[in-house]
Amino acid sequence: MAGIDGFAGREPLLERLLTEAANEVGKSGVLWSTPATSESARDGHLLVLLHGATSNERDLFDRLVPLLAPDFTIVSPRGPVQEGDGYSWVPPEVAVQAITDRAVAAVGDSIARSALAWLDTLPAFATVGVLGASQGACIAFQMLRAAPIRVRYVVNLSGYALPSGEDGDRALQRIRPPVFWGHGIFDDVIPPAYIARTAAWLAEHSTLTERRYDIGHNVTASEMADVAAFVEEQTTANR
């Protein structure tokens, strides 16, 4: 992580905070819907849940697990940074000081690659999908871009694609993996420019299912039902 350009001062401190956060991914607060073993993983499906900033590992887990078939294994790690009443993926000091596209992308990439390294310690599943909400969705996209073959599909709830090109983007243009993008038409948290950038990127790098809801920056029961249907579709052929 040394030498990232684009931080508005205090680079050594910010890089240290980011490295510490990345090193803690998957080490605490991990929820499993069922124990993961080599035998169960061989023909099974893993869905990784990445909650939003200042949330926690139970947020998406409690709402989605009851909607999916029993042969899904769902894992929900806790964000490594305590913030407010919950947890986040990126230290807030780092997030506000990353002022260039290069720095923003490097921050997301650091956390995403640490999440992929954590997945390397788990049994190998037949399929792996990643679902992220808000900040977690940004990390989910970076995981897809870093591992376009390994990550079969992504669900993006009220999140966005980070700027700057990534090594995996060219492969994604060929593969066009399935992506579900759900967002609220009254969302006043994600800037319109970020939405436009995400739409342009997804048009070139995914097979997109987009749903817009009459909500703000949140997730509703009807949206989770749509997500469950989408996830089931991605794994039907592997059953």
Residue 1 located in a structural domain = no
Residue 5 located in a structural domain = no
Cα–Cα separations (whole angstroms), residue 87 to 42, 45, 54: 32, 26, 5
pLDDT of residue 88: 94
Residue 164 located in a structural domain = yes
Higher pLDDT, 58 or 40: 58
Residue 165 located in a structural domain = yes
Q: Residue 172 maps to which CATH number?
A: 3.40.50.1820
Residue 4 located in a structural domain = no
Rounded mean pLDDT of 60-67?
96
pLDDT of residue 164: 74
Instruction: Please choose, from the candidates 92, 107, 103, 89, the residue with its C-alpha nearest in 3D space to the C-alpha of residue 26.
Output: 89
Rounded mean pLDDT of 174-183?
97
Residue 49 located in a structural domain = yes
What pTM value is reported for the model? 0.91
Q: What is the extent of the structural domain holding 161?
A: 11-238
Residue 75 located in a structural domain = yes
The total number of structural domains in the chain stands at 1
Tell me: pLDDT of 5 over 70: no
DSSP letter string, 212-234: EES-SSS--HHHHHHHHHHHHHH
39-53, 86-100, 190-204: the lowest-pLDDT one: 86-100
Judge residue 120's burial from the number of C-beta atoms within 10 Å of its C-beta, 0-12 exposed, 13-18 middle, 19 or more buried: exposed
